[in-house]
Amino acid sequence: MKQDLRGLLRNAGALFREKWRLWLLLALVAAAGVMVLVPRDADWGRQLVVADKRFALFVSFWGDFPRGWLLLIVVLGVLGWVLKQRTWRVVALAALLAGLLAGAQCHSISSLTGRPRPSAAMADRLHGPTLSRTYKSFPSGHTTCAFAVATTLAVSLPVLGVPCLPLAALVGWSRIAGTSHYPSDVWAGMWLGLINGLIIGLAARRFLASSNR
């Protein structure tokens, strides 16, 4: 496992350096979307809020990284170990790495920005560094991790990952519908997860291709 992890990190670093213009372009697209959405967040968010939040809460619960996504990763890794499918084991490790890296980045950003959640019924502004969950709205952690894992799987194991992308989108919807996040929070989380997932997913493909020669 240590060798696989080193291989994934080495290839991810190489891909980050080689395609830095692409990652910068995607980050700029995400930033432009945030600038467009923020002035409309309150109005558009209200249109997506549902009166009966039970389904949204269910999706959010299982869409959290330590629950549904981690369970999927563990099942894939265990099956890969039992069935001696090295590709599955490497992909599971890659998805875990992407979720952890993207989640750490997301929590760092949300702690630094300090945007209050819609459910807090407070003025929508940045309050600066904070560790309070009430002020950790931007970006959406659930959405970030969901797209990081789903994108990694879609790139490195499409048969499993592609169906996961709509599930990741559903997680993003649930965070708005349950008044936990604004649309711009979900948009930013989606792109943060996508970028991490693309880098780690492509790294997994490159690592597997090179090690199978």
Task: Give the pLDDT band (50/70/90) at residue 111.
Answer: very high
Residue 211 binned pLDDT confidence (cut-offs 50, 70, 90):
confident
pLDDT at position 213:
59
pTM here? 0.95
When pLDDT is averaged across residues 129-142 and rounded to a whole number, the result is 93
pLDDT one-digit tens code per residue, 171-188: 999 999 999 999 999 999
* Consecutive H or E run containing 24: helix 20-37
- Rounded CA-CA distance 34/14 in Å is 29
Angstrom distance (rounded) from CA 3 to CA 8: 9
Residue 192 reports pLDDT greater than 70:
yes
Over residues 46-67, mean pLDDT: 93
Average pLDDT of the residues in 9-28: 96
Position 157, amino acid: L
Whether the CB-CB separation of 141 and 106 falls below 8 Å is answered with yes
Distance CA 149, CA 44 (A): 27
